[in-house]
Amino acid sequence: MRNRRILSIWFPRLAAERHIRRDPNLGEVPFAVVKDVGQAQVLASLSVAAQAIGLYEGQPLRDAHAMSADLLTRLSNPHAEAAFLGVLHRWAGKFSPWVAQEKPDALVIDLTGCAHLFGGEDGVARQIEDDCTGLGLSVQLGIADTLGGAWALARFGGTQAAGHHRSGDAIDQEARATRARAGKRRHWERGGAAPAVSVSADQANLRIAAPGETYRALAPLPLAALRLEAHSMAQLSRLGLRRVQDLVEQPRAGLVRRFGRGLVARMDQALGSLPEPVSAAPPPDRFATRLSLPDPIGLEDDVMAAIDRMLPRLCESLRAKGQGARTLRLEAYRSDATMQWMTVTLAKPSDDPDHIRPLLRLKIEDLDAGYGIDMMRLETVLHEPIQLRTRAGHLEAAEDGRARMAGGKRKSLDRLIGRLGTRLGMDAITRLHPADSHIPEKNWVTVAAAWSEPAKAWPPRTRLRPLVMWPPEMVIAPDAPRLPEGFRWRGRDYKIHSLRGPERIAPEWWLDDPAWRNGLRDYWEVITKDGHRLWLFYAHGASMSSGWFCQGAFA
């Protein structure tokens, strides 16, 4: 497109400033975010104070601590940083509807036809800088006709082309056989560094390339502005090519033969010869409905009447997208400019108003209308896809009917979980799943009922286990592998009627479980003369002493 304009927004300290926003004290001292690279930790993002004392990205953490003993660090969290970039993505939507992310720390905006709304491209740049200053973020931006040009100006605009650390021009980087020829070289080739490229003051502040002037803006920039690979950068530097202009003036056929098509493609993308579209992410699905009331309401029946008008519309929009509500939020805006909100969580995603309405009814009892409610809003905070139903023939329909009849209890269970979770909280409703362990108290795991499926089957029981289990409690009895005629437990004396056992269970040797530090256990089913069936074991002793303990009771 002839008049296409691209804006690149780069946040050079995004990871570090995310922490500084939460704890402003970190901005007053040298601070860095570190990440793991192999077996070492390196600096990934620096604050202004850390960069001012000479620290740099990619520096090993041990070297950074040697330079600054006061350096504070936090471990990198890629998921949190990606979520923060997603928030900035939504903020950038006010400049143009066509916004894309360049992970991990940049955004790309297609400004075509939108800059005049902010007073031109200079106005857009000032607005972005003002917004980022208010957000506590460092920002660099560039505007050009191409994505590659905007990317280069945002990161290298106003900089000069510096020499590579392995340029090949210094005499100590030459092989011994070639050092004798150094005297025959002319000008800067005699062991010195390449001449620095001077940049005027006007170019130093220029990050906006006028339409059709992309090449003129990129020509004095270093080759890194073309997004080249590291090995290509090193080879080009040894050949004495420092600037974009130096590379453009070279024969293209020779560049392709030596460096491949990737280098020429990057150059063409930056200069506009090869198209590079901005792939904007689709906006997330949001489901909400609002109802404005002519007069404030406060009765419970009136609130439910308002919900009955909003809920079908919300469920219809969910059904159109194949989604089901998992968590809903009801917001009640009162006439005194205050708002009260409450959430409802379902055991399974649903788009059925008859399923959701009873759960909202339970929450309405806790709603404080105050001086009256003049607006209500119902929003789906969390939604999940619902599997589509396919039509089948007579045989499949009959089998599906039998499955639905068998699954009727499960549907009722899901609704029961939703109603109980509305009252008690979803975290309070749990279910047990089998676990693969030979330790009696680790044969199952507790999971949230709303976020898990019922266990399909439990493994067959080869050993008898008590109905109730508790942590081992000490039993007063002789320290011997076999019980005598009686013992004392919980302050009472018991006489043994019969025994069954023993069943020897060894601890998990690969784990240091504090509850199993008394070594091997011999479990016995003990029936007392009072009719109690207890589960006792004798611990043979290891790092803790041996003895008798009671761990459960049979029905």
Task: Identify the pLDDT of residue 275.
Answer: 87
Number of residues assigned to the chain: 555
**Per 3-state DSSP, what percentage of the chain is helix, strand, and coil (rounded to 5)?**
35, 25, 35
Strands 72-75 vs 31-37: parallel, antiparallel or unpaired: parallel
Task: Identify the pLDDT of residue 206.
Answer: 52
Sheet order of strands, 31-37 included: 40-46, 31-37, 72-75
In the 8-state DSSP scheme, what is residue 146? Answer: S
User: H-type helices in 93-192, by residue range?
Assistant: 121-135, 147-156, 176-179
Task: Identify the pLDDT of residue 396.
Answer: 64
Question: What's the mean pLDDT in 178-196?
Answer: 41
> Is 60 exceeded by the pLDDT of residue 2?
no
Q: Is the dihedral of CA 438, 465, 536, 432 positive or negative?
A: positive
Write the burial class of residue 103 (CB in 10 Å: 0-12 exposed, 13-18 middle, 19+ buried). Answer: exposed
Task: Identify the pLDDT of residue 476.
Answer: 92
| CA 248/CA 221 separation, integer angstroms | 12
CA within 13 Å, CB half, 501: 23
14-22 and 78-92 helices, crossing angle to 10°: 90
| Bridge partner residues of 525 (DSSP) | 500, 535
Closest CA to 244 of 174, 144, 352: 144
Query: Which tokens hold the place of 480?
Result: 């011997």
Amino acid residing at 177: A
The pLDDT-based confidence of 527 (bands split at 50, 70, 90) is very high
Task: Identify the pLDDT of residue 290.
Answer: 94
- Please, are residues 42 and 1 in contact by the beta-carbon 8 Å criterion? no
Q: Point out the least confidently predicted range of 221-235, 406-420, 453-467, 520-534.
A: 406-420
DSSP string, 519-532: --EEEEEEEETTS-
| CA 379/CA 311 separation, integer angstroms | 10
Closest CA to 376 of 337, 324, 339, 327: 339
> Is 60 exceeded by the pLDDT of residue 175?
no
Closest CA to 259 of 223, 227, 232: 232
Task: Identify the pLDDT of residue 393.
Answer: 58
In the numeric block, the tokens 């068998």 are attached to 406
Question: What's the mean pLDDT in 325-340?
Answer: 92
b/e burial code for range 160-189 (CB count within 10 A of at least 16 → b) = bbebbeebebeeeeeeeeeeeeeeeeeeee
The pLDDT-based confidence of 401 (bands split at 50, 70, 90) is low
Task: Identify the pLDDT of residue 209.
Answer: 86
| CA 154/CA 387 separation, integer angstroms | 45
| Bridge partner residues of 144 (DSSP) | 6
> Is 70 exceeded by the pLDDT of residue 189?
no
Q: Point out the least confidently predicted range of 2-11, 53-62, 152-161, 162-171.
A: 162-171
Question: What's the mean pLDDT in 541-545?
Answer: 87
Question: What's the mean pLDDT in 323-328?
Answer: 92
Q: What percent of the chain shows pLDDT beyond 90?
A: 39
More confident residue, 146 or 408: 146
Task: Identify the pLDDT of residue 534.
Answer: 94
| CA 61/CA 67 separation, integer angstroms | 10
Question: What's the mean pLDDT in 218-222?
Answer: 89
Task: Identify the pLDDT of residue 181.
Answer: 44
Tens digits of residue pLDDT in 87-96: 999 899 899 9
pTM listed for this prediction: 0.59
Q: Point out the least confidently predicted range of 305-309, 395-399, 486-490.
A: 395-399
> Is 90 exceeded by the pLDDT of residue 203?
no
Task: Identify the pLDDT of residue 71.
Answer: 92
Compute the mean pLDDT over every residue in the chain, rounded to the nearest whole number: 83
Q: How far is CA 544 from the centre of its chain?
A: 43
Question: What's the mean pLDDT in 433-445?
Answer: 86
Tens digits of residue pLDDT in 27-78: 899 999 999 998 889 999 999 999 999 999 999 999 999 998 899 999 999 9
In the numeric block, the tokens 């090193």 are attached to 234
DSSP string, 333-392: EETTS-EEEEEEEEEEEE--HHHHHHHHHHHHTT---TT-EEEEEEEEEEEEE-PPP---
Task: Identify the pLDDT of residue 54.
Answer: 92
Tens digits of residue pLDDT in 232-259: 888 888 888 888 888 888 888 888 888 8
| CA 279/CA 298 separation, integer angstroms | 48
